[in-house]
Amino acid sequence: MRKIRSVTPYHRTLLIGAALALFPVAGAWAQSADLPGPWARCETDVLASEIVPATPDTPPAGQAPLQADAEQIESSATQSLLEGNVNLTRGEQRLRAERISVDREANRAQATGGFVYGDSRQALRGQEADIDLASESGSFKEVDYYLAERNGQGSAKTVQVDRRQRRSQLHDATYSTCPRSSREDWELRADELLLDETTDRGTAHDITLAFRDTPLLYFPYLSFPLSDARQSGFLFPRQGYASETGVDITVPYYWNIAPDRDLTFTPRIMTERGILLGLEYRYLEPNRRGQIGLEYIPYDRRYGGERGSFRISDRDAPLPNTYTDLRYEYVSDDSYLNDLSNNLDFLTVNYLERHLDARYYGEGWQALARVQGFQILNPALFALSGNPYERLPQLLFNGDWPATAASGLRYRLHGEAVNFYQSDAVTGVRIDLWPSVNWTLEQPWGYLKPELGFRYTGYQLNDTAADANDAPSRSAPILSLDSGLIFERPLQAAWLGVNGGTQTLEPRLFYLYVPYRDQNDIPLFDSSVMDRDFDWLFRHNRFTGADRLGDANQLTAALTTRLIDGPSGRERLRASIGQIQYFEDRRVTLEPDLPPETAANSGLIAQAGLNLSTRWSIQGGVQLEPDNSDVLRTGFDLRYYANPRQLFNLTYLLDRDQPDMNLDDQIHAVDVSVLWPLSAQWRVIARWNQALNVARNLETLAGFEYDDCCWAVRAVARNYRNSPTDTDAQTAFYLELELKGLSRLGSGLETLLSNSIFGYQPIRY
C-alpha cells in the first residue's frame, strides 16, 4: 500500500465533500435546530458512525492539508487513478471510495463503486460522483444522508451542485427524523428541490407529507429557508373543532420585514361563524419591544354581524433607569373573547385594561406616572361595586432608605396623587401621603421592630350631592410593634424523611394601633375589604386602597414551626396558626349603613405546607368564623410533579366569605388533573373541575398522548363552561400531530393544557 500526503493533484477531489455539504437542505425544513434529546429512543442511523467528532484545534477545510491513502495508485500526465479503500482526509472532512479517477486534461474527477463522506455535521453515501473541478460543479447518484444535529435522514436519486453559483438541485428527495427503513413513520417527499444559497431559500415542487406511508398533505409548490434565520413564507396550518366554531382552520403567513420586525397574517376559517382575518406586527430593538394585533370578522353567522379586536403592547427604556409600558386592548363586544378565545394575549375575559406607565428608579426610591382605563366585558361582576375607576393620571412615589449605623432608623415614604374618573359616579383628585420610621433589633434568637407612621389622605371631589363635603380629608397616626422569638432543637429521630435536621418554634406578637376617624363622607374609588390569609394578620390596614383606613387596637398572636432537613437545608414542613384579638370594635366600614364589627377576635387562621419529597407536596389552610368557629374558608392542594408530562393535582376549595352568602355566590369546588404514563409511549390526560355548590361541571377534559421516537399525537375531548352561571356547556375536540424536527399539525393543544392543568409545560422539539 502506498501513502501520499499533501498531494496537490488530488486537492480538489474534496470538492465532493464541499459540494455534498449543500445537500442536507432537508434539515432546513425543520423549525428549530434542537439537540437530539427528543430522539433519544430512536435507533442509531447506519451513517451515524461516519460523523467525525468536532475538534476545536482543527484548521478550516480550506487551510488544512490533504491526506490520501489507497491500496493502489497509478498516475500519468493525463490520468490519475486511486483504487482500493481510498481515503481522503482534510481537516474534519473524510471521504471513502473504492475508486477515484481524475482526468487532468478535462479537469474532472469521478468516484465509482460507492462513496461515503462524513464531517462533524453530516454523513453521506452514494453510488457515483462526477465532479468538474474547473467549474466546481458536479452530479451525484443514489445519495443517502444523515444530519447529526437534527437526527434527520433521507435520500435523493440525483443531486447536481454548482459551487460557484451556490446552487443545488435534487430529484426524488426525502426527509425524515424517524429511523431509516423501507417505510418511515413520517416522511417528506419532493420530486424536485432547488437550493439557492445566494438568496438563502429553497423551492420545491410536488411536495408530499406522508404518515405511515399515507399522504397527509400535498403542496404543488413550496418555498422555504435554508437556515434557521427568519424568512417569509407560510407556516404550518392549525386545525381544530368546537361546537361554537365548527371546523376551525388557520393558515398563517409570516413576513420577515427586517431583522428586528415581522408581521404574521392569519386567515382563520370557521364553518359555523365565517372568516376571521388576523394581523400581528412585532418589533424588537435593543431597548424596546412590542406588538400590535388586529382581528376582524366581516360577518359572524352565529353572532349576526361584524366583530373584531385590537391590542397593542410596547415596552421601552428611553433613558437610564427609565422604563415605559403601554398596553391597550379592545374588543367589539362583551362575548368576543369567550366565543373566539384563540388570542390568549388578552389577560382576562372579564375586562380589558388600557394603561401607559412611565417608571423611574432612583437610589432607594422609585416613581410612577400612569394613565389607566378599562373596557368592561362582564357587567354582572361589577353590579354591586360599580365599574372600576379610570386613573387620569396617577402619580406614585415609594421610597425606602435603609437604616444607618449611627441612628439605626429606617425611613419610608409612600406618596400618591391620582385623578379618578367615572362617567356615572363621583369623581375627583386624591392625595395620599404615608411617611413612617422604624427601628429594628434583630438577633439569632428573635427580633423587635417598632414602627411609627402618619397617613394623610385628602380629596377634591366633583359631582357630589348638594349637601356633601367636596373636600374631605383624613389623617391618623399608625403605630405597630412586631416581635418574635426563634427556638431551635435538633431532631433526635427521623421524621417525615428528615434526618439530622432541625425543628423550630417561632412565636410572634404583632400589635397595631390606629385611632378611629370618621370616613363616611369619603367615596370609594379603589378600596375594598382585603382578602384574608395568614399574612393578613400582620397588615397595617384591613382595606385595600387609600379610601378607607381601618381603626385598630389589636394584638395578633401567631405560632410557626418548621422542619429543616440537615443535609440539604431544605424546608420540609412549615405550619402556622394565628388569630387577632380585638380590644375595641371596628367602627370603620366600607359603607355608612354597615354596622361596626364587634367580634372579639378574627377567628383562627391556619396554613401548612409539607414537602414529602422532591416530587410530592401538600398545602392547606383553614379560616374559622370568630363567633361559632364554623369553617369560613378552607383549601387543600396535593401535588405530584415528576416532569411536565407526569404530574397529578388535587385541589379542594370552600370559600363562604360571609356566613349569610347565597349558595350561588359561594366558591365550593374540587379540581383534579393528571398527566400519567401508561407505558413508555402512552400517556393519559385528564381534568375534572366541578362547582359543588351548584352541582355544575366547569370543565371535563380527557384524552391521550402517544409519544414515539420521532412523532407524537395528542387527542383531547373537552366539555366546559366559561362561568358557573352558564346553563349550557360547550364541547370541543382537539387533535395535534407532532412531527419531531419538522412541525406540529393541529390546534395548539399545548396552550389549552397549560391553562387547564397546573404545572403542565409545553415541550418544544
Taking the domain 2-229, which CATH number applies?
2.60.450.10
Q: What is the pTM of this model?
A: 0.77
593 contact partners, CB below 8 Å, separation of at least 6: none
161 contact partners, CB below 8 Å, separation of at least 6: 19, 20, 22, 23, 137, 138, 139, 140, 167, 168
What is the sign, positive or negative, of the torsion defined by CA atoms of 210, 211, 215, 217? Answer: negative
Are 226 and 734 within 8 A, CB to CB? no
Looking at the chain, how many residues does it have? 765
Is the pLDDT confidence value at 145 over 50? Answer: yes
Is the pLDDT confidence value at 23 over 70? Answer: no
Q: Which long-range contacts (CB under 8 A, 24 or more apart) does 513-516 make?
A: 513/478, 513/479, 513/480, 513/552, 513/553, 514/476, 514/477, 514/478, 514/479, 514/540, 514/541, 514/549, 514/550, 514/551, 514/552, 514/553, 515/476, 515/477, 515/551, 516/551, 516/587, 516/588
286 contact partners, CB below 8 Å, separation of at least 6: none
- Spell 40-68 as b/e; 16+ CB within 10 A means b: eebeebebeebbbeeeeebeebeeeebeb
Are 469 and 521 within 8 A, CB to CB? yes
Are 146 and 133 within 8 A, CB to CB? no
Give dist(CA 631, CA 665) in Å, integer.
16
Q: Is residue 3 very low, low, confident or very high in pLDDT (cuts 50, 70, 90)? A: very low
Tell which residue, 71, 63, 122, 120, has the closest CA to residue 97: 71
Q: Is residue 225 very low, low, confident or very high in pLDDT (cuts 50, 70, 90)? A: low
Are 261 and 281 within 8 A, CB to CB? yes
Give dist(CA 362, CA 300) in Å, integer.
51
Are 295 and 278 within 8 A, CB to CB? yes
Give dist(CA 38, CA 40) in Å, integer.
6
Among the residue ranges 8-17, 242-251, 401-410, 646-655, the one predicted with the least confidence is 8-17
Give dist(CA 717, CA 648) in Å, integer.
19
List, as one string, the DSSP characters of 555-578: EEEEEEEEEE-TTT--EEEEEEEE
49 contact partners, CB below 8 Å, separation of at least 6: 123
Tell which residue, 560, 540, 562, 567, has the closest CA to residue 551: 540
Among the residue ranges 21-35, 115-129, 150-164, the one predicted with the least confidence is 21-35
Among the residue ranges 55-59, 268-272, 514-518, 737-741, the one predicted with the least confidence is 55-59
Query: Between the ranges 573-587, 654-668, 706-720, where is the mean pLDDT highest?
Result: 573-587
List, as one string, the DSSP characters of 425-437: S-EEEEEEEEEEE
- The pair phi, psi for residue 471, each rounded to 5°, is -140, 55
Q: Is residue 17 very low, low, confident or very high in pLDDT (cuts 50, 70, 90)? A: very low
Are 350 and 378 within 8 A, CB to CB? yes
Are 188 and 206 within 8 A, CB to CB? no
Query: Between the ranges 346-350, 506-510, 568-572, where is the mean pLDDT highest?
Result: 506-510
- Give Cα 29 to chain centroid, integer Å: 25
- Helix, strand, coil share (%) of the chain residues, nearest 5: 5, 55, 35
Give dist(CA 517, CA 550) in Å, integer.
8
In the prediction, which pLDDT does 735 show?
A: 84
Q: What is the mean pLDDT of the chain?
A: 84
- The pair phi, psi for residue 524, each rounded to 5°, is -100, 100
Q: Which three cell numbers stand for residue 61?
A: 477545510
In the prediction, which pLDDT does 79 show?
A: 84
Are 128 and 109 within 8 A, CB to CB? no
Angle at 616 between CA 610 and CA 618, to 5 degrees: 35
All CATH 2.60.450.10 domain ranges of the chain, comma separated, are 2-229
Beta bridge partners of 765: none
* pLDDT per residue as tens digits for the range 440-450: 999 999 999 99
Classify residue 207 by burial, with Cβ atoms within 10 Å: 0-12, 13-18, 19+: buried
535 contact partners, CB below 8 Å, separation of at least 6: none
Comparing 4 with 721, the larger pLDDT belongs to 721
Give dist(CA 233, CA 402) in Å, integer.
56
Q: How many helices (H) and strands (E) does the chain have?
A: 3, 45
Are 566 and 499 within 8 A, CB to CB? yes
Is the pLDDT confidence value at 743 over 50? Answer: yes
Q: Is residue 5 very low, low, confident or very high in pLDDT (cuts 50, 70, 90)? A: very low
470 contact partners, CB below 8 Å, separation of at least 6: 428, 459, 460, 461, 462, 464
Average pLDDT of span 157-178: 84
Are 419 and 525 within 8 A, CB to CB? no
Are 553 and 583 within 8 A, CB to CB? yes
Beta bridge partners of 451: 438, 480
* pLDDT per residue as tens digits for the range 475-488: 999 999 999 999 99
